[in-house]
Amino acid sequence: MINNEFILNKFGYLGNDFSVELQKHAVVTEVKAKTEIIREGQKNKYVPFLVKGSIKVYALNDGRELIYYYIRPNDSCLMTFSSIFSDCISKIYAVSEEDSEVILVPVSVVLDWLIKYPQINRLFYHEYDKRFSDVMNMVNEAVFHKLDKRILSYIKQQILITGNNPIKLTHKEIANNLGTSREVVSRVLKKVENEGEIIQTKEGIKILVNEGVK
């Protein structure tokens, strides 16, 4: 059974008939943290909507991850949605960052809805706008920001997603997500720790309050 509050927040503007169809066709599934949801080359059978948790969407290049964006509660995966207009083959990887609840709607049903409920396009236009901003921010950081700023930005992002400060992140995990090496990340973190921007303990990495994370 889909949470009624989620339906109202996400799809309420489409009316009661749509809500009934959503309850009829959608599947609610629980996904454990660090679970691969889809991989590059896999056929997309469903369009996902995230109720709770967070999902990382990325590509792989020579074994290194390039993060495109994170899906947060009430969001959908834009690149999965885009694929349904061609061959439905995934061009991305998606992995749950924490225990998550996902609503899965069959691709065939979503395609029917685009005709039957044309106002649903408003939802996907909004997703396009958000994801375009995410990708542009990622490109700007990669091109214009030094690695220490990128690492701090990544840690802050993870703290905002999870609400945990300090946060448990390994140097290898950070390196994989930013396309660099563990040794480089360790060196940079030691440098910014000496500068008083972070603290590293057995509980994890903590961004200090005056760095903008509480």
The one-digit pLDDT tens for each residue of the chain (214 residues) are 676 777 778 888 888 899 889 989 999 999 999 999 999 999 999 999 999 999 999 888 777 778 888 888 888 888 888 888 888 899 999 999 889 999 999 999 999 999 999 998 888 888 888 777 777 776 666 655 678 888 888 899 888 878 888 899 999 888 887 878 889 899 999 988 888 889 998 889 999 865 445 4
Please tell me the total count of domains within the chain: 2
CA distance 179 to 172: 10
Residue pair 54/72 in contact (Cβ under 8 Å)? The answer is yes
Q: Which of 194, 189, 197 is nearest to 147 (CA)?
A: 189
Question: Could you please report the per-residue DSSP string of 95-109?
Answer: EESSSEEEEEEEHHH
Residue 50 lies in a domain: yes
Same domain, 80 and 185: no
Task: Please state the pTM of the whole predicted model.
Answer: 0.68
CA distance 172 to 168: 12
For residue 81, what is the domain's CATH number? Answer: 2.60.120.10
Same domain, 11 and 91: yes
What single-letter amino acid sits at 56? K
Same domain, 95 and 191: no
